[in-house]
Each structure stands twice: as structure tokens, then as C-alpha cells.
Amino acid sequence: MSTINFANREINFKIVYYGPGLSGKTTNLKWIYSKVPEGRKGEMVSLATEDERTLFFDFLPLDIGEVKGFKTRFHLYTVPGQVFYNASRKLILRGVDGIVFVADSAPNRLRANAESMRNMRENLAEYGLTLDDVPIVMAGGVWFLRDWNNWIDNPELGQIAFQLGTRPLLTQESPIPQGWKDALTKIPEDGVLLHQFSPTGFYSSAVINPFLLELQARSERQIAYVQAADAEHTAQLDVGVKGKNFWVKPADLMKAREWDARGFTVALKTPDNTLVFVTPPSGEVIRKDQKDCMGCLSHCGFSSWKDHDNNSTGRLADPRSFCIQKALQNIAHGAPIDENLMFAGHSAYLFGKDPFYSNGFVPTVQQLMDRILTGD
């Protein structure tokens, strides 16, 4: 259960990543760790045996703000995937507040998934817990509850909750503008992209439109550089930059010259020692948006803003990203949907196929919930 440290004014939560060996628990945790800004995370601690690389747990405290004056801190752990290390798995589950079960999607790993789930139930029982005490939350791609009949009221799984983020967008109470609502009913099945252009650094899903396509194209017009020639970077860049300390691979020099000839004459530095090529007008907009940063995020990759210490992430502002405050404010107030970020999940194409929305019908939230509870 969560613990409260009154001396430090902290509420501590323990989350454990559980699942069979090699299913991706450690990969998940390492990815999260890499995306949490410095200053918001503690050190990652790894414990390993001499003969098994997966036998370790990663300890990752995340500080994500305050609740009534108390800081909230999450402690993330992995367990050894191999069942024969059950003592370690059981120990790590002590005091758990939430579990992320990482299953292996390979068909031949179904038995391993089932065995790990059984083992988890047994270890929870040692602490007087059942899966009824630790609900499973299904999120992402949930549309029809009938698709989850084998999960609902399943005694082996316990309580199931569903998080729906896309379907409430198209309701009468939804505050998004009419143009956005109209566009939701016209999204093709492959019309949503999981991207990582967000200044938060996390993956996000959005409707593929000219705004998103421009971000894709911008990142594709990208080459690596070094400040002194080496065995690989033997060509001196002669377009897009001022100064001589830009050395690139010969093949990348040809790319840069081609982009320059097409009008992408401005090269902007990224935090990863690469250059992206943009048009002069685009470069001016990017620089202005970075300069006009309002500090809407605690850590912003686009502008390098940080809301504490010296107010800088210590990294270069990233021109491959965008001002999320500007993009969302614009579209929320009726700006062209093709020129701004339009959130939607990957099941959004069903707005155009689900008969519930026939003839332009837009439900109230109550009508939507009543419909969902029928299974459709």
C-alpha cells in the first residue's frame, strides 16, 4: 500500500512490472527512465546474478508533482522473469500498489504468460491480496466491450476497468471545435500515427494531417555532424550553416545540397548532434515559438524550458518538436485542423464505421455510456 512520509511530506507508491522472462519488463522500465527528465528521477539501481542477465530489478523513483502539499513519488520495480527465482519475485511484491503485467505477444509464449500470471496470483495471496485488490486497467484500442467478454467477470483476472480516451471526443459535451468533430468521422483505418514529436518526450497518437506530415518530413531531412573531421565524417558541410566546424559523411553532404537546392536552406541544430533542414520561413517560426515559450510543461524538449533550478533542461532546444501549447490552443479555438495537432486514438476510424454514429448522430455523454454498456 502507499506510504506517507510526513517528515519529507511525500506519498510513496510502489509499481511492479511483472511477467515472464524476456517479455520486455526491463526494456519498458529503461525506456521510461530514459524519458524522465533529469532532476525528476533518482538513480536506476540494477541487481544481477553472475549467470542470468534478466535477474535484477530496477529501482526508479519518479517525482511528478504535489497533492495538497505532499509530493507524489512512484517507485518502479521489475521482477526476475524466471519462475525459479520466486523468492525474489515474492519479496518485490511486498507492499505493491499497482502491477503492470508485461505479456509476451509471441504465440509460443502463451503458456509462459499463463504460468507467470498464476505465479503472480499465488505470490499476492501470500500477502493476503487478490487481483480483486489490484484492478487491471485496459487502455488503448478499447471500443466495443463485447471484444473483452473473456476478460470481464473472469475469476482468474479479478476486477477489470476500461479507460476510454477517443470515444468521448465525439459527444455533445466535448469541448473540441466542430471541425475536429467532423474530421473524426472521416479518418481512414491507417489515419492515426503513433509519434514521438511531442516536447514531453513521450509517444503520442494523433491524426495524420499536414501538421504531422511536416514534422515527419522535417526529421527525415536530418544528418549527423561532428565539429572535427574523423574517419567517417570527411566532408565539410557547405550549405545551411555558418562557420566551418560542421563535418559530415560524404553521402550526407549530397543530401544536404539536394535539400538546399529544393529551398530547405536553413540547418538547425538538435540536441543529438544532428542538423535538420528547413525553409527560412519555417526556421523563423520555429525560433519564434521557442523564444515565446510560456512554460506550460515542467520540462520542454522543444524550448529546453524547465520549471525549476536554472529554468533550463541543459540541452539544446529541439527543432524536430513543436510548441504543444500553441498547437492545442489554436485547434481548440477553431484554427484550421490541418495546421495543428489533432489528438485521436488508433480506433478513431470506427467513428466512420460504427452504425451508432449514422446520419451524423452525435451522442451526449450519457447516451454514449449507455451504448458502451450494451457491449457495442
Per-residue pLDDT reduced to its tens digit, 121-178: 899 999 998 877 776 777 667 888 888 887 788 777 777 788 788 999 999 999 999 9
Q: Smallest Cα–Cα separation from 235: which of 257, 220, 218, 217?
A: 257
Strand partners, 16: 77, 99
Amino acid 62: pLDDT: 52
Give the start-to-end residue ranges of the domains of the chain: 3-134, 188-339
pTM of the complete model: 0.71
Q: Could you tell me which residue, 116 or 182, shows the higher pLDDT?
A: 182
Q: Could you tell me which residue, 51 or 124, shows the higher pLDDT?
A: 124
Instruction: Give the separation between CA 81 and CA 257, rounded to whole angstroms.
Output: 50
Instruction: Give the separation between CA 307 and CA 313, rounded to whole angstroms.
Output: 9
Q: Could you tell me which residue, 143 or 298, shows the higher pLDDT?
A: 143
CATH class given for the domain over 3-134: alpha beta
Average pLDDT over residues 249-274: 97
Instruction: Give the separation between CA 323 and CA 75, rounded to whole angstroms.
Output: 30
Q: Has residue 207 got a pLDDT over 70?
A: yes
How many Cβ atoms from other residues are within 10 Å of residue 120's Cβ?
21
Amino acid 84: pLDDT: 60
Question: 285-310 as b/e, with b when 16 or more CB fall inside 10 Å?
Answer: ebeebbeebeebbbbbbbbbbbeeee
Average pLDDT over residues 215-225: 97
What cell was used for 26? 526491463
- Name the band, by pLDDT with cuts 50, 70 and 90, for residue 118: confident
- Name the band, by pLDDT with cuts 50, 70 and 90, for residue 51: very low
